[in-house]
C-alpha cells in the first residue's frame, strides 16, 4: 500500500517516495501578514493540514515548514494607511493568523521562519545567482534573468513568448527581459531596508521561499505546496532560483490546493464577497468548516455558500450523534459487565468494518481523496447506529468488543481526516512552543461566546448548593462543595453567603 499524489510538475499521480525512509519534508507557502486571512486562504491551510495529518497517521515523520512574509508592498501600503510601522502591522497580523489557525484546529508548523529574519540568507542566494550569471544588478535592483535558465516554464507549462501581452507593467527599463523578476529591490524613501552589496533595499517575495525552504529542509526536499494561484509566477520563480543556484532538482512533488468560490463566484475585492475567516468562525464551528473542506477533493474548486455550510453542519451532526450513541452504549455495556460470544450478525459486521477501513485507506492513499473517504466514514456511522439500535430494542447490549471495534475504526478515521483533533496534532511530532493557551485565545473576540464559561458553571453549581442549604439538605450541599474542592475550586462560607476561588 503506497500513497499516490498528483504532481503539478508532471501533471499525473505518482507514488510518494520520500527522499529519506519514513520521513517527509514539506514546505507550504504561508501568509503575507497585512490583513486577516479569508476563507479561501483558510482552505489552502486546512487542505495541507489534512495532508500532513494523513501522512502522520500513516506513520511518516513530517517536517513541515511554513514561512511568514513580513516585508512586502502590501504590508508597507497598509501600514501607511493605518499609521503604524510595517513591523508593528506585520506582527499584529501574524499573531492574528496564528490565533485563526489555532481556532481552526490547524497544527502549527514545525517551524515558521519569517522573511525579515533571513535577509542574510537571501543575500547569499542572490550573490550565488549573480556569481553564476543568472542574475544582474540594475540601478540598485537585482533581477533574475529568465532567458538564462533553460528550465523556465516547466512547472506551470507556460509558453512565455505567447504571453507577452499579459505582462503586468513594471520598471521595464531596468530589466533585460520582460519576464525577469526582482530578487532585490532598491530602497525607496520611508520603506524598511537592509544593506546589501548592491546598496540598501529589500528582498523580492519569491527569493524568501526558495531560500528558507532549502535552508531548513535541504537543497532538495519532498513536497512543496501552496494555493493553485501560486503556480505562476511564484513557484515557477522559486524553482528557477533554487535550481539555478544549487544545480540540483529542487522539489520532488509540487502540490496545489484548488480555489474557493463564494456562491459560485470568484472571491474578489471588486465583487465585495471576501469572507474573513474569523467572521465565518463567529457563526460556524471550526469542525463544520473542516467537514465542508473535506467534502471536496483538495484540488477541485470548492463552492462556499450558506447551503454548503448547512450541509456540512448536518453531516457533522450525524457523526457527533453517532459518537454520543456509541459512548453511551459503551457506558451501559461496561456497567452490565457482560462478555458473551459474538453472534453471526456481529461477526458479519466486524468483517464489514475491516472492508470499510481498507477502502477508506485506498481512497485517502489515492491523492488524499477525503471526499471519497468520507463516504466510508458515513457507512460506519450508519452501521454503528443500526447495530446499537438493534441491540437496544432487544434489551441486549452485551458485546463490548464489537462496540469497541466500531469506536476504534471511527477514531482512526477521525485521526486520518483531522476531524475532532487538537490543534496541536496527533503526536509529539511538533516541537513548536504551545503559545496558544486557552487564555490567550479567549482574549480575542471569541466566536463562541454563547457557550457557558467555567466560572458561570461554578456559579450555577454554588447557587444550587445554596438552595440545598436553604432547604436544609446539608448532605447534598456538602457533596457539591466537596466535589468542587476535588476539582480545585475552594468554597468558603462567609457571613451572608459564600465565596470561591480556583486553587493554583
Ligand atoms: Zn512561497
Tens-place pLDDT, residues 363-421? 999 999 999 999 999 999 999 999 999 888 877 666 788 899 999 999 999 999 999 98
β-partners of residue 366 are: 4
How far apart are the CA of 111 and the centre of ligand 1, in A? Answer: 15
What kind and span of H or E run contains 253?
strand 251-257
Residue 446 scores a pLDDT above 60: no
Residue 449 scores a pLDDT above 50: no
Residue 180 scores a pLDDT above 80: yes
How far apart are the CA of 48 and the centre of ligand 1, in A? Answer: 14
User: Which grid cell is 130?
Assistant: 549573480
Average pLDDT over residues 195-216: 97
User: Which grid cell is 51?
Assistant: 495532508
How far apart are the CA of 334 and the centre of ligand 1, in A? Answer: 52
How far apart are the CA of 403 and the centre of ligand 1, in A? Answer: 46
| Confidence band of 431 (pLDDT split at 50, 70, 90) | very low
Residue 289 scores a pLDDT above 70: yes
How far apart are the CA of 480 and the centre of ligand 1, in A? Answer: 56
pLDDT digits (tens, 9 = 90+) for 83-102: 999 999 999 999 999 999 99
- CA distance linking residue 235 with residue 256, whole number of Å: 10
Of 300-314, 337-351, 489-503, which has the strongest mean pLDDT?
A: 300-314
% of the chain beyond a pLDDT of 70: 90
Average pLDDT, the chain: 89
At 260 the pLDDT is: 95
At 223 the pLDDT is: 98
User: Which grid cell is 38?
Assistant: 479569508
How far apart are the CA of 227 and the centre of ligand 1, in A? Answer: 10
At 497 the pLDDT is: 79
Residue 437 scores a pLDDT above 50: no
pLDDT digits (tens, 9 = 90+) for 206-223: 999 999 999 999 999 999
How far apart are the CA of 491 and the centre of ligand 1, in A? Answer: 54
Average pLDDT over residues 35-56: 97
| Confidence band of 424 (pLDDT split at 50, 70, 90) | low
At 444 the pLDDT is: 36
How far apart are the CA of 35 and the centre of ligand 1, in A? Answer: 17
- CA distance linking residue 33 with residue 97, whole number of Å: 8
How far apart are the CA of 28 and the centre of ligand 1, in A? Answer: 7
At 164 the pLDDT is: 60
Which of 277-281, 293-297, 345-349, 447-451 is least confident?
447-451
Question: Strand, coil or helix: what is 182?
Answer: strand
How far apart are the CA of 470 and the centre of ligand 1, in A? Answer: 66
If one compares 432 and 197, the residue with the highest pLDDT of the two is 197
How far apart are the CA of 276 and the centre of ligand 1, in A? Answer: 21
How far apart are the CA of 234 and the centre of ligand 1, in A? Answer: 6
How far apart are the CA of 64 and the centre of ligand 1, in A? Answer: 14
Average pLDDT over residues 32-49: 97
How far apart are the CA of 396 and the centre of ligand 1, in A? Answer: 58
- CA distance linking residue 344 with residue 466, whole number of Å: 55
**In whole angstroms, how large is the CA radius of gyration of the chain?**
28
Residue 450 scores a pLDDT above 60: no
* Contact assessment for residue 110 and residue 431, using Cβ atoms and an 8 Å cutoff: yes
If one compares 313 and 448, the residue with the highest pLDDT of the two is 313
At 172 the pLDDT is: 64
CA dihedral 290, 430, 365, 261 (to 10 degrees): 30
Average pLDDT over residues 308-318: 96
pLDDT digits (tens, 9 = 90+) for 260-277: 999 988 988 888 889 999
How far apart are the CA of 151 and the centre of ligand 1, in A? Answer: 19
Taking CA atoms, 489 is separated from 210, 440, 495, 500, 504, in Å, by 52, 22, 19, 7, 9
Average pLDDT over residues 35-40: 96
| Confidence band of 422 (pLDDT split at 50, 70, 90) | confident
At 331 the pLDDT is: 82
For the entire predicted model, the pTM comes to: 0.85
How far apart are the CA of 443 and the centre of ligand 1, in A? Answer: 31
61-66: strand order across its sheet: 61-66, 23-28, 221-227, 251-257
How far apart are the CA of 212 and the centre of ligand 1, in A? Answer: 9
Taking CA atoms, 1 is separated from 366, 395, 408, 466, in Å, by 10, 42, 21, 62
How far apart are the CA of 233 and the centre of ligand 1, in A? Answer: 10
How far apart are the CA of 237 and the centre of ligand 1, in A? Answer: 10
% of the chain beyond a pLDDT of 90: 75
If one compares 121 and 170, the residue with the highest pLDDT of the two is 121
| Confidence band of 440 (pLDDT split at 50, 70, 90) | very low
How far apart are the CA of 217 and the centre of ligand 1, in A? Answer: 14
How far apart are the CA of 209 and the centre of ligand 1, in A? Answer: 5
Amino acid at each position: 500500500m503506497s500513497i499516490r499524489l498528483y504532481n503539478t510538475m508532471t501533471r499525473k499521480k505518482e507514488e510518494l517516495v520520500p527522499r529519506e525512509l519514513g520521513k517527509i519534508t514539506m514546505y507550504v507557502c504561508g501568509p503575507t501578514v497585512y490583513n486577516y486571512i479569508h476563507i479561501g486562504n483558510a482552505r489552502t491551510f486546512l487542505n495541507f493540514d489534512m495532508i500532513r495529518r494523513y501522512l502522520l497517521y500513516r506513520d511518516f515523520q513530517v517536517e513541515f515548514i511554513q514561512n511568514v512574509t513580513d516585508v512586502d508592498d502590501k504590508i508597507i501600503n497598509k501600514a501607511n494607511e493605518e499609521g503604524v510601522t510595517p513591523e508593528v502591522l506585520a506582527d499584529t497580523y501574524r499573531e492574528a493568523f496564528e490565533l485563526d489557525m489555532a481556532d481552526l484546529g490547524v497544527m502549527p508548523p514545525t517551524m515558521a521562519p519569517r522573511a525579515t529574519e533571513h535577509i542574510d540568507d537571501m543575500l547569499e542566494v542572490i550573490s550565488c545567482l549573480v556569481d553564476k550569471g543568472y542574475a544582474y544588478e540594475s540601478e540598485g535592483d537585482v533581477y533574475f534573468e529568465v532567458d538564462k535558465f533553460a528550465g523556465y516554464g516547466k512547472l506551470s507549462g507556460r509558453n512565455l513568448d505567447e504571453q507577452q501581452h499579459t505582462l503586468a507593467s513594471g520598471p521595464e527599463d531596468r530589466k533585460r527581459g520582460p519576464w525577469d523578476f526582482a530578487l532585490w529591490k532598491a530602497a525607496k524613501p520611508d520603506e524598511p531596508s537592509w544593506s546589501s552589496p548592491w546598496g540598501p533595499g529589500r528582498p523580492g517575495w519569491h527569493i524568501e521561499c526558495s531560500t528558507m525552504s532549502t535552508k531548513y529542509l535541504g537543497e532538495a526536499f519532498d513536497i512543496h505546496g501552496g494555493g493553485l494561484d501560486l503556480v505562476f509566477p511564484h513557484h515557477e520563480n522559486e524553482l528557477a532560483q533554487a535550481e539555478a543556484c544549487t544545480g540540483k532538482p529542487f522539489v520532488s512533488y509540487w502540490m496545489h490546493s484548488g480555489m474557493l468560490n463564494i456562491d459560485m463566484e470568484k472571491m474578489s475585492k471588486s465583487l465585495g464577497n471576501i469572507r474573513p475567516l474569523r467572521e465565518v468562525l463567529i457563526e460556524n464551528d471550526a469542525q463544520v468548516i473542516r467537514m465542508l473542506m473535506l467534502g471536496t477533493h483538495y484540488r477541485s474548486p470548492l463552492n462556499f455558500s450558506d447551503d454548503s455550510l448547512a450541509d456540512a453542519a448536518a453531516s457533522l451532526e450525524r457523526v457527533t450523534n453517532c459518537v454520543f450513541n456509541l459512548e453511551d452504549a459503551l457506558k451501559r455495556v461496561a456497567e452490565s459487565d457482560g462478555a458473551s460470544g459474538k453472534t453471526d450478525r456481529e461477526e458479519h459486521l466486524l468483517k464489514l468494518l475491516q472492508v470499510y477501513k481498507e477502502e477508506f485507506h485506498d481512497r485517502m492513499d489515492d491523492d488524499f481523496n477525503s471526499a471519497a473517504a468520507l463516504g466510508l466514514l458515513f457507512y460506519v456511522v450508519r452501521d454503528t447506529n443500526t447495530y446499537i439500535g438493534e441491540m437496544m430494542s432487544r434489551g441486549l447490549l452485551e458485546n463490548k468488543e464489537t462496540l469497541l471495534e466500531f469506536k476504534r475504526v471511527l477514531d482512526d478515521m477521525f485521526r486520518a481526516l483531522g476531524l475532532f483533533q487538537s490543534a496541536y496534532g496527533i503526536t509529539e511530532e511538533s516541537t513548536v512552543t504551545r503559545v496558544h493557551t486557552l487564555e490567550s485565545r479567549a482574549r480575542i473576540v471569541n466566536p463562541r461566546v454563547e457557550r457557558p464559561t467555567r466560572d458561570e458553571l461554578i456559579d450555577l453549581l454554588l447557587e444550587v448548593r445554596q438552595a440545598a442549604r436553604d432547604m436544609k439538605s446539608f448532605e447534598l450541599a456538602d457533596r457539591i462543595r466537596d466535589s468542587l474542592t476535588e476539582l480545585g475550586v475552594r468554597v468558603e462560607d462567609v457571613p451572608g453567603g459564600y465565596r470561591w476561588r480556583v486553587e493554583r
